Copies of this chain bind each other. A is one copy, B any other.
Amino acid sequence: MLNLERIQKAQQRMKQQNIDAYLILTHDDYIYFFGEDRYQPRAIIPAEGQPIVVTFSGEEEEVRESLGVEDVRIFGSVGQQIKDVVQVMRGMIGKKEKLTIGVQMWFSTPAFLLNMFQRANPMVNVVDIASVMDELRMVKDASEIALMQRAAEIAVIGMETAVKTLKAGITENKVAAEIEYAMRKSGGHGVATPVFVNSGIRSGWLHGTASDKVIETGDLVVIDLVPRYKGYCANLCRTFVIGDPTVKQFNMFETYKSAQAAGIEALKPGAKMREIDAVAKQVFIENGYGDFYIAGISHSIGLSFEETPAPTIHPGDSGIQISDGMTVTVGHPVLSVPGTGGVRLEDTFHISNGAAQPLTAFPSELVL
């Protein structure tokens, strides 16, 4: 069912900012307003009036019923879909010369669709809708926290499976298969990023995936999980060693663990994102790893894996202040040392009652 309160708040902001409508092309904001997901999330929220969902004729009845949306534009082909959107734009323009339409400008917005929309609607001026949506989505309500808590529990089940499965001789892909299966069986709805199982030289990668590489004794293995529950994400990352750690591996792990702990300690209402970075970096420096520190140890999380504030992507976000109700991870960037590999630990927190309350609860131990 659509969330009228959220829609009204967005409309109020749109009016203040002279944005005529928000064209939704991504899953996160579609779920935020309509409470459920679709393979093709396409909707228009005008600054005034009823939201319009654009969907396929075979889904019309069900959309009307489940969302309680009156104006459902239906299409029988993809060509029709864009025509329907153009028609809505024409209906909105009235006596104006140009329409100002907000669009989300983030990774999952398809450049193809935005380009097609702009070519089909020359009377439209596209602006970034972040100025409307960021403030709304940054602070989560109780229903959102409950879904993120469930996602966090699913992440923990995934990590428990990793611990049971990891051993020398198994491929990264086999470990990922077991993790994914366990998370799905426990109610997860897929993942926001592919399950990372990065071992040996691959543990030092900034990102990763699961490959056909065989995990060997002595390997550092980074397991990074971002399961979804009803669209909402939680992030849990741990690093393990296969067999006995070397002194260097142990030192890197202890450094990261201390840096993460310092970051969590700093994660309080009123603190700026950059302060979390600063205390974590200090621990890296004190342990001789200052040159290996990558800025962005903390980012917001919710319907997207990384959302505003995300200094990990927008360095400017490092000036944003933490406040009660935000959900933030600590431990994002890898400590990557050429020749040894990488270490990462990441957890998800809910800022509540003046402190960071962990949503992901899993021990941080290097040795399996």
- Interface residues, chain A, CB within 8 Å of chain B? 37-40, 56-59, 61-62, 76-79, 103, 105-115, 173-174, 176-177, 180-181, 184-185, 187, 189-190, 194, 201-202, 204-210, 212, 294-296, 312-313, 315, 334, 336, 338, 342
In the assembly, how many copies of this chain are there?
A: 2
Cβ B189 vs Cβ A184 within 8 A: no
Answer whether A205 and B173 are a contact pair too, CB < 8 Å, given A108-B110, A295-B77: no
Cβ B109 vs Cβ A112 within 8 A: yes
Bound complex: CA of A182 vs CA of B82, how far in Å? Answer: 38
A-B contact sample (14 more), CB < 8 A, given A39-B208, A107-B110, A181-B181: A38-B207, A39-B207, A40-B207, A56-B206, A59-B205, A77-B294, A77-B295, A78-B296, A105-B111, A105-B112, A109-B111, A173-B184, A180-B180, A181-B184
Residue in B58, B209, B315 whose beta carbon sits within 8 Å of that of A336 in the complex: B58
Chain B residues whose C-beta falls within 8 Å of the C-beta of A110 in the assembled complex: 106-111
Chain B residues whose C-beta falls within 8 Å of the C-beta of A201 in the assembled complex: 62
Cβ B58 vs Cβ A334 within 8 A: yes
Bound complex: CA of A108 vs CA of B111, how far in Å? Answer: 8
CB-based closest 4 A-B pairs: A58-B336, A39-B207, A177-B184, A56-B206
Chain B residues whose C-beta falls within 8 Å of the C-beta of A62 in the assembled complex: 201-202
8 contacts between A and B (CB under 8 A): A39-B205, A56-B205, A58-B338, A76-B294, A107-B110, A173-B187, A180-B184, A189-B210
